[in-house]
Structure 1
Amino acid sequence: MKPVPDHAVNRLRAWRKSISTRPFLARGGTLARCPACQLREDWCACEWRPELKAEAGFCLLMYDSEPMKPSNTGRLIADVLPDTTWAFLWSRTQPHPELLALLADPAWQPYVVFPACEKEPARLTGEVTLAPGKKPLFILLDGTWPEARKMFNKSPYLDGFPVLAIQPDALSTYGMRVANCDEHLCTAEVAACVLEVAGELKAGQGLQLWFNLFSRRYMAGRMSCHPAADEAPLLHGLTALKAATGAQQP
């Protein structure tokens, strides 16, 4: 168990808890969890968490209770890319001023990440094409699929941005919540795909490995069984990634 990482999602979670008028009762809320990785305390995975760098940025728009859920995977993005991940609670009519400033920052080129089947074909693209001097900022709508669809349809401040439609090679491995469609990935899986599309292969691989370890251990804790022996390749991959990253530090 390690200290809670100081990143955007954890700060938002702490603030959201501070304004709550009653305890948040999530499934599995009585389970003793590591406060950093939110896994069952005796199966803490913090020692394998990679912290990487990427040119791409992520802007998480989170539905009201999403930061509070131990199953939330948007937090995993901030775990891996703390320097280029921002998180805000979603509001239809009163978006946070810092959100609007980020979207207007000339250093970034925003893309709303959403499935191709949903809305306005003219806005859809499957590629990341950047203007000179700009870096991609991927806006992820973090909630259940009905909540994400609501955020997409009722956020006028996002209407001017292109919509990046991800076509994953594999179906979702996320078993913690059930999506309406098998092709709907969870937030961390989407981010890993987006990083690959943007050419950030190392960051995408690291996030996918971290998500896979988290999801396996989360489900094991939910079913009160031990983590599977077949997670060894994940631990090996994360260890190698952390070693390589450490070797590159000055």
Structure 2
Amino acid sequence: MARSVVLRGVPRCPHCQIAPRWCVCAESRAVALPFALDVLMHNSEVWKPTSTGNLIRRVVPASRRIVWHNQCLPRREDVVRDGGADALWILHPRGEALEDVLRDQREQPPPGAGALENLRVLLIDGTWAQANDMLRHVDGWGRKVRLPVSALRGESRYWLRAQHSAGHFSTIEALIALLNALGFASESDTIRGQFEMHVYAMLLARGHKTRAGQFLAGSPIGASMPELVRQLQAGSGRAGAIAK
């Protein structure tokens, strides 16, 4: 089935936003994070099934989505809660090194969950041009923090959109990398599995079977979610079978 399946107004699962035939909700796993999480999402991303900001909202139910619109800008008090600016990290490549921030806060990685309980992390979700506009608006609200180079290696696994240059990763990949850098491998692995399954299913829904096969070859989901992978390959996911 061709990409037109996505472009036409076909029914979609209200949860994963994928056509029921490739619904991935059977393997949905919620994750609790050691810190509070906000996603500042450009309004153009809100209804896109490919958006990893929307995926974060599903995988991390306690997270907040703050929609950015240039005619209705979010306020500082909507984001910065108790604890003030020092308790808010704005994740961005132009920020301070994570290692320096942890040292300043006298936290040695990997910290225990309690060490981050007063922390709120803000992720910026949009195109790179949109993200730069949003960053200018929130600059000064908190501490800009960048991930170590070792946390984001290789190429992005976000095969649903073209990456403008090397080193560009999706919003959810930045979250995965942050969790790894802080030593929360279990949470990171669970979110990565949900992310990779989302990409794989969307590739199939677009009719890109060859590319989906290439993606699967480098993914852990073949081993961690084999039954759902088989169902998706057959084009009759669990939700699709129920719908019939």
TM-score (norm 1): 0.70
The 3-state SS of whatever aligns with 1:185 is: coil
Q: 2:193 aligns with which of 209, 226, 230?
A: 209
Unaligned runs of 5+ in 2: 1-5, 107-114, 229-244
| Matches of 2:64 and 2:29, distance apart in 1 | 18
Q: For residues 182 and 30 of structure 1, do their structure 2 counterparts lie closer, same or farther at Cα, with a shift above 3 Å needed?
A: farther
Q: 2:77 aligns with which of 84, 100, 107?
A: 100
AA aligned to 1:49 is S
1:77 is matched with 56
User: Is the 8 Å Cα contact of residues 111 and 163 (structure 1) preserved in structure 2?
Assistant: yes
Name the % identity: 21
| Matches of 1:213 and 1:92, distance apart in 2 | 33
The 3-state SS of whatever aligns with 1:32 is: coil
| Matches of 2:66 and 2:73, distance apart in 1 | 8
User: Is the 8 Å Cα contact of residues 22 and 204 (structure 2) preserved in structure 1?
Assistant: no
Cα shift at 1:160: 4.5
Are 1:144 and 2:127 matched, yes or no?
yes
Alignment of 1:37-76 (within 5 A): 37-76=16-55
Q: 2:153 aligns with which of 169, 183, 201?
A: 169
User: Is the 8 Å Cα contact of residues 158 and 169 (structure 2) preserved in structure 1?
Assistant: yes
2:163 is matched with 179
TM-score (norm 2): 0.72
Q: For residues 75 and 222 of structure 1, do their structure 2 counterparts lie closer, same or farther at Cα, with a shift above 3 Å needed?
A: same
AA aligned to 2:192 is Q
Cα shift at 1:170: 2.5
| Matches of 2:192 and 2:156, distance apart in 1 | 12
RMSD over equivalenced CA pairs, Å: 3.0
Cα shift at 1:102: 4.0
Larger RCO, structures 1/2 (Cα 8 Å, 6+ apart)? 2
User: Is the 8 Å Cα contact of residues 109 and 134 (structure 1) preserved in structure 2?
Assistant: no
User: What is the total number of aligned residue pairs between the two structures?
Assistant: 203
| Matches of 1:237 and 1:53, distance apart in 2 | 25
Cα shift at 1:91: 4.8
User: Is the 8 Å Cα contact of residues 59 and 137 (structure 1) preserved in structure 2?
Assistant: yes
1:194 is matched with 178
Alpha-carbon displacement from aligned partner over 1:193-212 (angstroms, at most 9, x marks no partner):
11222332211111111000
Q: For residues 203 and 133 of structure 1, do their structure 2 counterparts lie closer, same or farther at Cα, with a shift above 3 Å needed?
A: closer
Cα shift at 1:40: 2.5
AA aligned to 1:86 is R
Cα shift at 1:55: 1.5
Higher helix share: 2
Cα shift at 1:236: 5.3
Q: For residues 82 and 181 of structure 1, do their structure 2 counterparts lie closer, same or farther at Cα, with a shift above 3 Å needed?
A: same
